[in-house]
Amino acid sequence: MTSLEEFKKEFTQAGIAVENYQFSRAFGDDVILMPKEDLLKVFSLLRKNQKFDFLMDICGADYPQREKNGGKRFEVVYHFFNSKNAQRLRIKALVGDGETIDSALPVWRGADWFEREAYDMFGIIFKGHPNLRKLLTHHQFVGHPLRKDYEADRQQHCTQSIPIHFDNEPGVDGNILNENFVPINIGPSHPAMHGTLRVMAELDGETIVRASCEIGYLHRCFEKMAETHPYNQVIPYTDRLNYCSAPMNNVGYCKTVEKLMGIEIPPRAQALRVILCELSRIIDHIISVGTGGVDLGALTAFFHLFTYREKVYTLFEKLCGARLTVSMTRVGGMAQDAPDGWFDEVLSFCKEMRAGVDEITKLFLDNKIFIERTQGVCPISAADAIQWGYTGPLLRACGVGLDLRKVSPYYGYENYQFDVPIGSAGDIYDRYLVRIEEMKQSIRIVEQVCKSVPTGDYTVRLKGVVLPEKKDVYGNIEGLMNHFMLVIKGLRPPIGETYDATEAANGELGFYLVSDGSANPYRLKVRPPCFAIWQSFPTVVKGALIADAVATVASMNVIAGELDR
């Protein structure tokens, strides 16, 4: 770990004057606030020697009050991660309205869409970004919706669909490179596009000469909704980020709020969360592998795998009543305890699933057609993957064994025996190989947890955080008062900000949370794992056949809900 003092020394040695810098440590995060002019110099320095190899997230935040006081309105926040020692670093720079800030693209390719999003949402202009245009909102949208002065429900209608375009503004026809090339459009409503993705490609025969992605067809304004709802009411919105593995998003969000509030949840809640997460990982991979098979023409596997998914739904239903969008966690623990005998049912599911995974292995990984369609197709190297900000199974398929459950364990993952499977080629085959192996490992974890579930409470009992039990609300005056106070005042974390990440099914799911001490989050930024992955798609499929591009889309398992938020 590099301490803040060491950073200071390193910067000074490199000839950077650090007088105007603010080094601070808050809620376990290292934060450096610096003038925006020095950003690129510092970034290169951080990157050197692979110290911080990942640029995890870039986002903006709007503080109109500061502008009124003569300061600068926007903050641009960068999150760095060092995969060697799991150290995180947050760098912040201030920008005024209409001012420019240097783009991080020369140092990290993965900054591309993150900066476009910040431009779209706040109007922050990144100097040197070659293609700074809207990303999520539609092309007729005027204004920047995450600015505090944009009302959450002010809709602007879109009356035209966006024509095919490449690296230019939509509305201008994508200028074809060569008149013999054919531009084609796939999506947003297309079976291979898994929901609402859209790919535009220019073809030479069947080979992709260049491609471009248009996203935002499912931009549901999650971050704005979070700013207008109390902390616990944000939980159902998080379900709908990655809806293939909804409980994982609940856990990631609650863990962030708990970090800000300094709450340690009881062991039983931790165990329940681990079970939920690992079951979700299994069903997420089921969707990924199943629909991936459909895209390659193998419909049987989808039907077969869905039987197992239904079984997990039944388990969730027993636990909380909902199948898909469970909203099972609360800040401070779980919403309720598991019913009697639930853990035994989970154990017997694990047994069935084990047999299921073996079948899937035979159906897919040993299948000649599958092997020929996927092996050596659209591979990506480990170095490139890190540059783009890949995490999760896709990164591991390239041979990088990064898994947050191992490098910075939470909820007792360090006590469970499991392996982190890695691939070698980074091609489509390895991605499925890693996913299928991960399902086995998740089963292992669930079995270990179920065999020794800690007893005790399923949530903390702090009166400013968790509602009292119903028997107290109806039974004694103190319970009634606490209930009333919490409902009226809301859950109020201290003023401050934090970033926390969990290993979700697709990779690092991070939440950057700013609290101003009120009952709603002031700013909540999600770092969705597939956002960084999907931005690399045009580069990855360049020169590939169009049919292989379809296989690549499926293997990336891009979930529009978390991509567009």
Partner 1 sequence: MSSNSQTISPVASPVTSSHVKSSSGYSGTQDINDMSRSFALTTKLDSIIAWGRKNALWPMPYGTACCGIELMSVMGPRYDLARFGAEVVRFSPRQSDLLLVAGTITEKMAPVLIRIYRQMLEPKYVLSMGACASSGGFYRAYHVLQGCDKVIPVDVYVPGCPPTPEAVLDGIMLLQKMIASGQPRPWRDNWKAPDHD
323 contributes a contact to partner 1 by CB under 8 A: yes
CA dist., res. 224 & res. 361, Å (int): 42
CA dist., res. 136 & res. 133, Å (int): 10
Cβ distance to partner 1 smaller for residue 125 or 322: 322
Contact (Cβ atoms closer than 8 angstroms) between residue 214 and residue 558: no
What is each CA distance from 348 to 299, 305, 312, 439, 451, in whole angstroms?
27, 17, 11, 16, 12
State which of residues 240, 255, 405, 492 lies at the interface with ligand SF4 (CB under 6 A): 240
CA dist., res. 219 & res. 550, Å (int): 23
Residue 523 phi, psi dihedral angles, 5° rounding: -150, 135
Q: How far is C-alpha 118 from the geometric centre of its chain's CA atoms?
A: 16
Q: How many residues bind ligand SF4 (CB under 6 A)?
A: 2
CA-wise closest residue to 76 among 137, 106, 117, 47 = 117
Burial of 320 (0-12, 13-18, 19+ CB in 10 A): middle
> What is the Cβ-side half-sphere exposure of residue 25, based on CA atoms within 13 angstroms?
7
173 contributes a contact to partner 1 by CB under 8 A: no
**At closest approach, how far in Å is the CB of 120 from partner 1?**
11
**At closest approach, how far in Å is the CB of 527 from ligand SF4?**
21
State which of residues 55, 89, 208, 225 lies at the interface with partner 1 (CB under 8 A): 225
Query: Among residue numbers 178 through 207, which ones bind partner 1 (CB under 8 A)?
Result: 188-191, 195-196
Each residue 284-323 as x (binds ligand SF4 by CB under 6 A) or -, in order, gives ----------------------------------------
Piece of 143-151, 434-442, 464-472, 531-539 that binds partner 1 (CB under 8 A): 143-151
561 contributes a contact to partner 1 by CB under 8 A: yes
> Cβ-closest residue to ligand SF4?
240
**At closest approach, how far in Å is the CB of 291 from partner 1?**
8
**At closest approach, how far in Å is the CB of 559 from ligand SF4?**
12
Pairing of strands 74-82, 87-95: antiparallel
440 contributes a contact to partner 1 by CB under 8 A: no
Q: Which residue's entry shows tokens 């069947």?
A: 206
**At closest approach, how far in Å is the CB of 167 from partner 1?**
19
325 contributes a contact to ligand SF4 by CB under 6 A: yes
Contact (Cβ atoms closer than 8 angstroms) between residue 79 and residue 88: yes
Residues of the shown chain interacting with partner 1 in the complex, contacts defined by CB under 8 A = 136-138, 141, 145, 150-162, 188-191, 195-196, 216-221, 224-225, 236-237, 239-240, 243-244, 246, 287, 303, 306-307, 309-310, 313, 323-325, 560-561
Residues of the shown chain interacting with ligand SF4 in the complex, contacts defined by CB under 6 A = 240, 325
